[in-house]
Each structure stands twice: as C-alpha cells, then as structure tokens.
C-alpha cells in the first residue's frame, strides 16, 4: 500500500479490493487518472483508492499514467539535535529538490539541502520513507517521487535561504518547535517523523 498525496489529501494505492461503500475505488489500469486526481483534490469528497492486483507493480503502473519527477531531500539534525526547516509558500517544509542528469539520489539530496539552506558538511545517516505527491506543471499532472534521508551536520554558520526558490526562511528548530511547525506543514512531510515524535 502507498499513499499518494494530492494537495494534503492521500489517495491510497493498494492491491486490496475495497468492500466499503464509503471509499471510492478505481482500477488503476483503466481509470482516467486526471479525473481521479481532480476528485481526490475535493476535500469534502469520499476517500479515493486505486487498485491493482499486483502490489509490486502499483508504482510502475501509476508511473505509466503520470510522468514521474524524482527528487531527494533531507531531514537534517545538528549537534544539538535541532531539525532544519525551510519556510516556503507560507508552509514549513524540509529541503528537497529534483535530480539533475546523471546524479544519484543521495547526491541530489545533499546538493539540494546545501543549495536551499546554505548548510554544509552533511552526512547521510539513514534512509527515510519515499513520499509521493501529485502536482500540476504546464497543464499536466506529474508524480513527484521524493527519496528522503536522515542527515547530520556540525554546521553552525549562517543559514542562507535560497530566495530564487521562494524560500524566505531557514531555521533550526528544537523538537518542541518542530512539532509546532509540522502543524503548518504538509501531510507527506509529517510521514517522515515517527509516531513517537508526536
């Protein structure tokens, strides 16, 4: 099972047939994906589920219907255990961005964190869940597949928001402040934090 976010609402990608009348399920192979996405974006609509019998092919089937865009990002902690956040489009977020040609995903994640925040000396310490969300670019839906990594750094110099990417603030946040920031963040970002965090 996968959660694919349309705005802050999740479509469920599953190999389990839905028996509940409260959930609207579509066959992934046959559905008009643009119509399903529009329906999923209605905050008052029923939960949406996309079904395919083979769990291992769920993402590959979805990628045939929506062009994938690959990205890498980081949940970065400093020596004090504070977490690095960016502020963009009136929401707290974690730094991330698209891969460049020939770049592996770990390199993308480190480069994007550096570019968006000015933080250097990053070291990947763990992999985190991959997140999926749908966005619209030039009139077409795209599927952003973001590979996330836990990172650490001893960087204690000035933080530099990448203004050309509409990032207006970069801040280290204590655990308490991070919990508060996540209230004004995205559902797929909250997935990166363990339940114990809340």
Residues 144-175: tens digit of each pLDDT = 999 999 999 999 999 999 999 999 999 999 99
Tokens 């609207």 — which residue?
24
Checking if the pLDDT of 195 tops 80, the result is no
Instruction: Decide if pLDDT at 186 tops 80.
Output: yes
Q: If you count DSSP H runs as helices and E runs as strands, how many of each does the chain have, helices first?
A: 5, 12
Q: What is the pLDDT of residue 35?
A: 94
State the DSSP string of 87-100: EETTEEE--EEEPP
Q: How confident is the model at residue 198 (pLDDT cuts 50, 70, 90)?
A: low
pLDDT tens per residue across span 15-36: 999 888 889 999 999 999 999 9
Res. 62: pLDDT tops 70: yes
* Neighbouring C-beta atoms of residue 74, cutoff 10 Å: 28
What's residue 148's pLDDT?
98
How does pLDDT run across 82-112, given as a tens digit for each residue? 999 999 999 999 999 999 999 999 999 999 9
Q: Is 38's pLDDT higher than 80?
A: yes
For residue 75, what pLDDT is reported? 98
Superfamily name with CATH number, domain 67-197: Nucleoside Triphosphate Pyrophosphohydrolase (3.90.79.10)
Residue 107: count of CB within 10 angstroms of its CB: 13
Domain parsing of the chain, residue ranges:
2-65, 67-197
């Amino acid at each position: 099972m996968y959660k694919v976010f349309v705005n802050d609402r999740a479509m469920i990608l599953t190999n389990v047939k839905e028996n509940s009348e409260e959930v609207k399920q579509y066959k992934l192979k046959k559905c008009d994906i643009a119509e399903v996405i529009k329906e999923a974006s209605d905050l008052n609509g029923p939960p949406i589920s996309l079904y395919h019998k083979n769990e291992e092919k769920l993402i590959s089937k979805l990628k045939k219907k929506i062009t994938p865009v690959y990205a890498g990002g980081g949940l970065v902690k400093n020596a004090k255990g504070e977490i690095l956040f960016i502020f963009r489009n009136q929401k707290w977020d974690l730094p991330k961005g698209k891969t460049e040609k020939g770049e592996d995903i770990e390199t993308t994640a480190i480069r994007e964190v550096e570019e968006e925040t000015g933080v250097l000396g990053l070291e990947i310490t763990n992999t985190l869940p991959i997140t999926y969300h749908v966005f619209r670019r030039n009139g077409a839906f795209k599927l952003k597949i973001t590979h996330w990594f836990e990172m650490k750094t001893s960087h204690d110099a000035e933080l530099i928001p990448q203004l050309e990417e509409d990032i207006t603030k970069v801040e280290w946040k204590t655990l308490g402040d991070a919990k508060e920031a996540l209230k004004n963040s995205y559902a797929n970002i909250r997935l990166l934090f363990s339940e114990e965090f809340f």
